Amino acid sequence: MTDAIVLAVVVPIFGAMLSMIAGLRFDRSGWTVAALTCLAQLGTALAILYTVVQDGTQRYELAGFTPPEGIELVADGLSAPVIVLVATVSLAVVVYARQAGPRGNAFYTLYLLLVGGLAGVTLTGDIFNMYVFLEITGLAAYALVASGDSTESAVAGLKYLILGTIGASLFLLGAGYAYIATGTLNMVDLSEQLAAAGYGSRLVLGAFGLLVTGLLVKVALFPVHTWQPGAYSNAPDSVSVYISALVSTVAAYAVARVLYTVFTPEFFTANPIAQTALVYAAAVSIIAGSVLAVLQRDLKRMLAYSSVSQFGMVVAGFALLSQSAAVGGVIHLIGHAVLKGGLFAAVGVVAAQTGARSIDEYAGLASRAPLSAGLVAVLGLSLVGVPPSVGFVGKFYIAVGAVETGTWPIAAVIFASTVLTLAYFARIIERMYFAQPAVEPSSDGAVAVDVGDGVSADGGEEIHSSAGASPEMVAVVVVAAVAAVTLGFAGSAIESFLEPTLVEVFG
């Protein structure tokens, strides 16, 4: 069954080529190819999860070269849930993109390449291989962000490209330091060799700093988040959904890999300053991201800054090095992907239905589009952390971990950020349910025109007011909202699933 591991990476890359080749002959074949590929990948991901549950960690040696010399792909308790998340979200976004666009085989080629890159980062057990997959992910993501119609999207894509490349290059330099210190690139082998090289060695410390900093650029923690709001808000709606749900998520997963598999908690016992620095950098990001989110007027931009804050929380969860906090980090990683992807999808649906994109334009949305307003409210409140949603469970475990390790400032920061998150979502809910539709001269007219534009651009039917949003698009948001609540009840199940892996890490 270990073949499923390599198939999860190869199938999307093969699908990307197929989509490109099929495009030469059949103009509109991209969606079909992408849907079938993502379906197949979801199958392999579920097979991986099933084998990991049954038999524990699975390893696949690429091309028959034995590790540590050869490259291996690894599915364990940490990577299996993430690969299932990647496959599920990929399929959901393909369904969403059918109506929301962009269309054409070029889009789906890039999309499947991105899926393959993310699967590769998730499953690889080799640090240089991780760099290559990070760059494949990045390359596809830059091009997808720039595929928007607006002139700003190209600028946002270029900014993302330059910062993302610098981040990945730092990661490469860190891998080089680790290689010089140990002579190996395999993650498991590195953890032993780094210990042998001595955790106090400057090379090892340099490798840690460069690897983690490089990844944090990709995660978009404050203050290296500057590429992220532009990229999220100027990308086409489907792309926003996908990259907000997965690209930073997988980078944050890579941070956990580097912290737990490569450097191990003993490294932090030897260098407490490394842990302190990481935890407080995350804390600053939590607060700064929330404050910046409160200041935004554009919905997509606000959600983007909110991600800066939520990923601060995930990284803090990983860096606290307590088992509860790590469980919280993983739950919040998955929960945030579902919630933020769902919210961006909901924003896309609302924009297609009514043309509303800023908080002021959401006034009175509950009477114009009651279902969409309700979904935005449910997803928003889940992100705030109202029990029993998944947003609550993740934060709760991280806060428990902070208290257990005696890191009180983090517990306080999580509480403060919850209040700030409530501040920006309460504002939207207030607009949607309790405000009258705007009477200012511009808005109403602008909204009406936008509806017309949206319809003609999408080429959908023009019969009723929700012509721009297809039932599939709404269904994707409904599934996300249901998942947000049900995953909250699965918290303890996820904890017991992660336990064997984390016990191995924390001893």
Q: Output the smallest distance, CB 154 to other proteins, in A.
A: 5
Q: Which is nearer to other proteins, 92 or 172 (CB)?
A: 172
Q: Near other proteins by CB under 8 A, which window of 166-174, 362-370, 409-417, 454-462?
A: 166-174
Q: Output the smallest distance, CB 68 to other proteins, in A.
A: 12
Q: What is the DSSP letter of 186?
A: B
Q: Near other proteins by CB under 8 A, which window of 14-22, 55-63, 128-136, 476-484?
A: 128-136
Give the per-residue contact string, 68-107, with other proteins (x = CB under 8 A; - = no): ----------------------------------------
C-alpha angle 306/309/310, rounded to 5°?
Answer: 85
Indicate which single residue of 112, 143, 383, 451 sits in contact with other proteins (rule: CB under 8 A). 143
Q: Which is nearer to other proteins, 154 or 467 (CB)?
A: 154
Both structure tokens of 19:
């989509």
Q: Which is nearer to other proteins, 169 or 201 (CB)?
A: 169
Q: Output the smallest distance, CB 206 to other proteins, in A.
A: 12
Which strand (E) or helix (H) includes residue 292? helix 272-294
Instruction: State the Cα–Cα distance between residues 345 and 333, nearest whole angstrom.
Output: 18
Classify strands 58-61 and 72-75 as parallel, antiparallel or unpaired. Answer: antiparallel
Q: Output the smallest distance, CB 162 to other proteins, in A.
A: 6
Q: Which is nearer to other proteins, 161 or 347 (CB)?
A: 161
Q: Which is nearer to other proteins, 133 or 318 (CB)?
A: 133
Q: Which is nearer to other proteins, 119 or 173 (CB)?
A: 173
Q: Output the smallest distance, CB 163 to other proteins, in A.
A: 9
Contact 153, 300 (CB under 8 A): no
Instruction: State the Cα–Cα distance between residues 179 and 190, nearest whole angstrom.
Output: 8
Give the per-residue contact string, 172-191, with other proteins (x = CB under 8 A; - = no): xx--x--xx-----------
Instruction: State the Cα–Cα distance between residues 171 and 216, nearest whole angstrom.
Output: 10
Q: Near other proteins by CB under 8 A, which window of 75-83, 153-161, 279-287, 384-392?
A: 153-161
Percentage helix, strand, coil for the chain under 3-state DSSP, each rounded to 5: 80, 5, 15
Backbone angles phi, psi at 390, to 5 degrees: -70, -30
Instruction: State the Cα–Cα distance between residues 184 and 180, nearest whole angstrom.
Output: 8
Q: Near other proteins by CB under 8 A, which window of 3-11, 139-147, 254-262, 390-398?
A: 139-147
Indicate which single residue of 142, 260, 267, 311 sits in contact with other proteins (rule: CB under 8 A). 142
Task: Pick left, alpha or beta for residue 102 (phi over 0 → left; psi -120 to 50 → alpha; otherwise beta).
Answer: beta
Reference 481, options 383, 400, 406; nearest CA is: 383
* Residue 233 neighbours by CB distance under 10 Å: 25
Indicate which single residue of 14, 128, 280, 433 sits in contact with other proteins (rule: CB under 8 A). 128
Reference 298, options 463, 407, 150, 183; nearest CA is: 150
Question: Footprint of other proteins on residues 425-484 (CB under 8 A)?
Answer: none
Both structure tokens of 66:
């034995």
Q: Near other proteins by CB under 8 A, which window of 129-137, 252-260, 283-291, 358-366?
A: 129-137
Indicate which single residue of 29, 57, 169, 405 sits in contact with other proteins (rule: CB under 8 A). 169
Instruction: State the Cα–Cα distance between residues 117 and 136, nearest whole angstrom.
Output: 5
| Per-position DSSP letters for 318-340, written without gaps between them | HHT--HHHHHHHHHHHHHHHHHH
Q: Output the smallest distance, CB 134 to other proteins, in A.
A: 10
Q: Output the smallest distance, CB 209 to other proteins, in A.
A: 15
Reference 73, options 121, 21, 25, 41; nearest CA is: 121
Indicate which single residue of 46, 154, 188, 416 sits in contact with other proteins (rule: CB under 8 A). 154
Amino acid identity, position 484: A
Should residue 161 be labelled a site residue for other proteins when binding is judged by CB under 8 A?
yes
Should residue 166 be labelled a site residue for other proteins when binding is judged by CB under 8 A?
yes
Instruction: State the Cα–Cα distance between residues 282 and 91, nearest whole angstrom.
Output: 31
Instruction: State the Cα–Cα distance between residues 306 and 229, nearest whole angstrom.
Output: 10
* Residue 464 neighbours by CB distance under 10 Å: 7
Indicate which single residue of 2, 32, 57, 165 sits in contact with other proteins (rule: CB under 8 A). 165
Q: Which is nearer to other proteins, 114 or 161 (CB)?
A: 161
Binding site for other proteins (CB under 8 A): 128, 131-132, 135, 138-139, 142-143, 146, 151-152, 154-155, 157-158, 161-162, 165-166, 169, 172-173, 176, 179-180
